[in-house]
Amino acid sequence: MPLLIIRNDITKVSCDAIVNAANQSLLGGGGVDGAIHRAAGKQLLEECRTLGGCPTGEAKITNGYRLPCRYVIHTVGPIWQGGSHHEEQLLRSCYRNSLALAWKYQCESIAFPLISSGAYGYPKAESLEIATDEIRRFLSDHDLLIYLVVFDKMNFEISRTLTDSLEEFIDQNYVDKHEDHSNRSRSFFGRKLISETGKSRKGAKKASSPSPMVSDSACLDAMPMEEPLEDLEQALLQIDESFSEMVLRKIDEKGITDVECYKRANMDRKLFSKIRSNRLYKPTKPTALALAISLELTLEETRELLMKAGFALSHSSKFDIIVEYFIRNHHYDIFRVNEALFSYDQKLLGLSS
């Protein structure tokens, strides 16, 4: 099952368990702790009183009461003291112990806030990295729908180096769709038809929308191509291969299992089995790109896979440019890609059917 990053108030998230960033007393406080106690009602505090507190890094479970969830898992994050007081290990154990409790109580979905990233002062980018790293480890051999709930964007920071280079890449490549592109080149099979006047040539227009009578070879003759003909023939051969057939071929070529493929694509099993069982399955663009990341495709292979689903990468879409950035840099960690997409308010890759 996937990890979804969402903007919301965790007390509004309807799932099996929500995680509270509590303090050792478990008797309530500010931030997410205060919000959860207010929304759950006084019975939550009454049950917490019976727990006898909770040491940092550990987790305890109560009912959800008036919250839209069955359980609240209370965990106590470390207070940031510069990083030399085992803060990282303690924060990691908050996620591990909370996930272990959720699993023990047969939860199918759980929502986390960014533990310690508020009053406890944990550096935000590092707290996010630890959260997604622990969640990824857990999801590698468990199926659980996990929400990482971001209450306000100030507390959501991806690493500065990534932000800087991503910002630069977007600046260099993003083309606002409202700008005039009179010399836009037309493409066919991903190949360019260079036109003198910015309009497609008459022949190309006929070929790109051939009448049923026009044979493929007539189309090819009419298509003044920049590329050698044999490349196009190769492209035509590949075009018979459907989207899902290419995915399955790449899985075999990479020597990975179906499970590894859909988990690395941040996808659930149901969605993947639809792709596997239907030769002509038509995915959404985020699903197609999630598989390109999972299969660690090159940019050219990604373009080919997208084309089989009827899509193309566009420089007037920040979503496309951000994904292209990761593929060009061979960064195939889908959680990092999703963090970057989330920080630019874009759709995420993968997810469920």
Task: Return the residues of window 52-81 that contact ligand APR according to CB under 6 A.
Answer: 77
Q: Residue 138 CB, nearest distance to ligand APR (Å)?
A: 20
Specify the stretch interacting with ligand APR by CB under 6 A; choose among 148-156, 170-178, 217-225, 341-349: 148-156
Give the whole-angstrom CA distance, residue 286 versus residue 266: 11
Q: Residue 115 CB, nearest distance to ligand APR (Å)?
A: 5
Q: Residue 51 CB, nearest distance to ligand APR (Å)?
A: 14
Region for 28 from its dihedrals, namely left if φ exceeds 0, alpha if ψ lies in -120 to 50, beta otherwise: left
Number of residues near ligand APR (by CB under 6 A)? 26
Among 33, 157, 304, 324, binds ligand APR (CB under 6 A): 33
List 20's β-bridge partners, or say none.
Answer: 74
Binding of ligand APR by 245 (CB under 6 A): no
Binding of ligand APR by 93 (CB under 6 A): no
Q: Which is nearer to ligand APR, 152 or 253 (CB)?
A: 152
The contacts of residue 169 (CB under 8 Å, 6+ apart) are: 321, 325
Binding of ligand APR by 31 (CB under 6 A): yes
Among 62, 93, 97, 116, binds ligand APR (CB under 6 A): 116
Residue numbers annotated as active site: 33
List 147's β-bridge partners, or say none.
Answer: 4, 111
Task: List b or e across 257-280, with b for residues whose CB sees 16 or more CB atoms inside 10 angstroms.
Answer: eeeebbbbbbbbbebbeebbeeee
The answer to whether 202 touches 224, Cβ cutoff 8 Å, is no
Binding of ligand APR by 9 (CB under 6 A): yes
Task: List b or e across 292-322, with b for residues whose CB sees 16 or more CB atoms inside 10 angstroms.
Answer: bbbbbbeeeebbbbbbbbebebebebbbbbb
Tokens of 212: 């049923």
Give the whole-angstrom CA distance, residue 60 versus residue 75: 7
Q: Residue 21 CB, nearest distance to ligand APR (Å)?
A: 3
68: nearest Cα among 18, 107, 25: 18
Among 120, 262, 311, 342, binds ligand APR (CB under 6 A): 120
Binding of ligand APR by 343 (CB under 6 A): no
Q: Which is nearer to ligand APR, 31 or 283 (CB)?
A: 31
Q: Which is nearer to ligand APR, 37 or 263 (CB)?
A: 37
Binding of ligand APR by 339 (CB under 6 A): no
Q: Residue 143 CB, nearest distance to ligand APR (Å)?
A: 24
Specify the stretch interacting with ligand APR by CB under 6 A; choose among 16-24, 215-223, 254-262, 341-349: 16-24
Q: Which is nearer to ligand APR, 48 or 275 (CB)?
A: 48
Q: Which is nearer to ligand APR, 9 or 333 (CB)?
A: 9
Q: Which is nearer to ligand APR, 10 or 158 (CB)?
A: 10
The answer to whether 12 touches 66, Cβ cutoff 8 Å, is no
Distance of CA 69 to the CA centre of its chain: 24
Q: Residue 315 CB, nearest distance to ligand APR (Å)?
A: 33
Tokens of 134: 């622990």
Task: Return the residues of window 190-229 that contact ligand APR according to CB under 6 A.
Answer: none
Tokens of 38: 């207010």
Laid out side by side, the sheet with 109-112 consists of 3-7, 145-150, 109-112, 15-22, 69-76, 59-63
Tokens of 3: 């990890």
Distances (CA, A) of 87 to 57, 116, 122, 160: 9, 10, 8, 21
Specify the stretch interacting with ligand APR by CB under 6 A; choose among 98-106, 114-122, 305-313, 334-342: 114-122
Residues in contact with ligand APR by CB under 6 A are: 9-11, 21-23, 29-35, 77, 113-120, 149, 151-152, 155
